[in-house]
Structure 1
C-alpha cells in the first residue's frame, strides 16, 4: 500500500515538474519566436535555446537541446537525470504528466504564437544513460479542444 502511495506521489510530482518545465522553456523560446516567417523563426528559436543548453530545469530534469521540423513542429529534448527507463511509470505519465503539459500549452500566454501558428510541440525524454523513455506530442487538435 505504501509503495502505491509513493508511486502516486511521484506521479503527481512528475506532472507538476513537467508543467513548470514547459512554462520555463516556453518563455525562453517565445522571446525569439515568430517575428517573420514561421520556419525561419522556429530555426532561430532552436539556435538561441541551444546556445543556452543544457539547462537544469530542476533536480530531476535537464533540457539538453531543441530542434524544429519545417514550420509545424518544435521538439524539446530532456534528460531525466536521476532515472532509468525501467523506473519511469508510463501509466503515471499518461495520467498526470501528459494532461499537465497539454493544459500548460493551452493556457500559457507565452505559447500563444505556437497555438496561433498550429505548431506541434514534442517533448522527448531520455533516461540518465541516454536511452529513449517517451515522447509527448502536443498537437493543435489537443490544445485547441
Structure 2
C-alpha cells in the first residue's frame, strides 16, 4: 500500500470518528446518569442476589446498562439454555416495567441487559429489555 493510500485511510478514519463522537445534551445527560447507576452497582459488587446468582459488575454503553452476573453453582455446560432463558425472562425481565424505581429508565428509553456466565466464567446467555417498550404495553 502506498504512503498516500495509508494517509488517506487514516484521514478517513479520523473524520468518521469526529462525526460520531458528539453527544446531544440529552444523550450526555443519559450517559452521566447511567454511569452513576453503574458506579453504584460496582461499589457494592460482587453481591449475591440469591443463592444461585452473583452480580459481578455493571457497565454502560450509549443507552444500555449491562449487568454481568455469574451462576455460582453451575458451569455453562450444566445449564440447558432452553430452560434457563424462559426462567430469566419470567423472573428478571418481565417484572422490569412494573418496577416503580425504574420509571426513569422507561422515560429515557434505557436498554437493560442481563448477561449470565457460569461458575467457570463461560458465557451462558444474555437477555435484554428495551424499557421504552414498557409504555407500549399500557
* TM-score higher than 0.5: yes
SS of the residue corresponding to residue 114 of structure 2 reads: strand
Residues 97 and 131, structure 2, Cα contact 8 Å, conserved in 1? no
Identify which of 125, 128, 133 aligns with 1:134. 125
| Aligned equivalent of 1:6 | none
What is the total number of aligned residue pairs between the two structures?
A: 109
CA distance in 1, matches of 2:86, 2:132: 19
Partner of 1:81 in structure 2?
A: 72
- More displaced 10-residue stretch of structure 1: 48-57 or 36-45: 36-45
Deviations 1:11-67 (A, max 9, x none): xxxxxxxxxxxxxxxxxxxxxxxxx92110111111121011000111101000000
1:102 correspondence with 2:93: yes
Structure 1 residues not aligned, in runs of 5+: 1-35
Moved more, 39-48 or 118-127: 39-48
SS state of the match for residue 124, structure 2?
strand
- CA RMSD after TM alignment: 1.7
**Cα deviations by residue, 1:87-136 (Å, 9 ceiling, x for unpaired):** 21211233332133332111110111111110000000000011111000
Q: Rg larger in 1 or in 2?
A: 2
Determine which of 129, 134, 143 is the counterpart of 2:134. 143
Aligned equivalents of 1:143, 1:88: Cα separation in 2 = 30
Indicate the SS of the match to 1:136. strand
Match of 1:33 in 2: none
- Provide the TM-score with structure 2 as the length reference: 0.72
1:140 CA displacement: 3.5
Q: Which has the higher contact order (CA 8 A, sep 6+)?
A: 1
Output the TM-score relative to the length of structure 1: 0.69
Aligned-pair distance for 1:141?
Answer: 5.8
Q: Which runs of 4+ in 1 moved over 6 A?
A: none
